[in-house]
Amino acid sequence: MDKPMQSQGEEQLTAKEEEQLTQAFKVATVIIHGEGETGDRVAALVLENQDLTKGLGNAVATVLMGTLKEFPIADDLHLLLGTEILMELTDLAIEAGAMSEDELTEDFIDQVVSHAFSAYLTMKEQTGELNPQELQAMVQEAEAEGRNLGLLSDAPEQAPPAQPNQAQGLLNKLQGGGA
């Protein structure tokens, strides 16, 4: 990887941010391609899951968390690093025959990213690293971005009653309901 990936329309990374992202990705590749238990565990997350999108999502979150523990970077670079990790893992899944290039669609990527984000938040919550205010700000930012892209309407939708689950518990904590 010569240059970290950037989407069109994003602000340019500073030289320091590019260097951080490049170094963090080097750490991630060591985790992904590592000999022995670490590399085997990452491969198992992908290959042993019935749902490849979930397996890749869990692997992305696991590698991202491991990388950030070893080489912390600015919060606003986490998404870019996660994207680079996802690209590396999907390339490996294709090479290993776990999936074909034809399966690598926008919908597939969206599902993987959704699983990765969920797994990442769960891991952060389990390790006590999740800041409820930060999570609420991320949700509000994502909703605003969804409205800007026309994916969400401005009117709040009536959600069906939620089944009790971990996400609901997290929302209760954010709203002061405590668990």
Tell me the C-alpha distance between 56 and 86, whole Å. 8
Domain borders along the chain are 15-130, 131-150+163-179
Give the pLDDT confidence score for residue 124 in this predicted structure: 87
- What's this model's pTM, rounded to 2 decimal places? 0.70
First to last CA, the chain: 44
Q: What is the dihedral of CA 48, 50, 56, 58, to 10 degrees?
A: -80
Taking the chain (179 residues) in runs of 10, the rounded mean pLDDT of each run is 45 90 96 83 84 94 94 90 94 90 92 91 85 75 71 54 45 48
H runs (alpha helix) in the chain: 15-33, 37-47, 52-70, 78-95, 106-126, 132-148, 166-174
Query: pLDDT, tens digit, for every residue of 110-162?
Result: 999 999 989 998 898 888 887 777 777 777 777 776 677 666 666 554 444 44
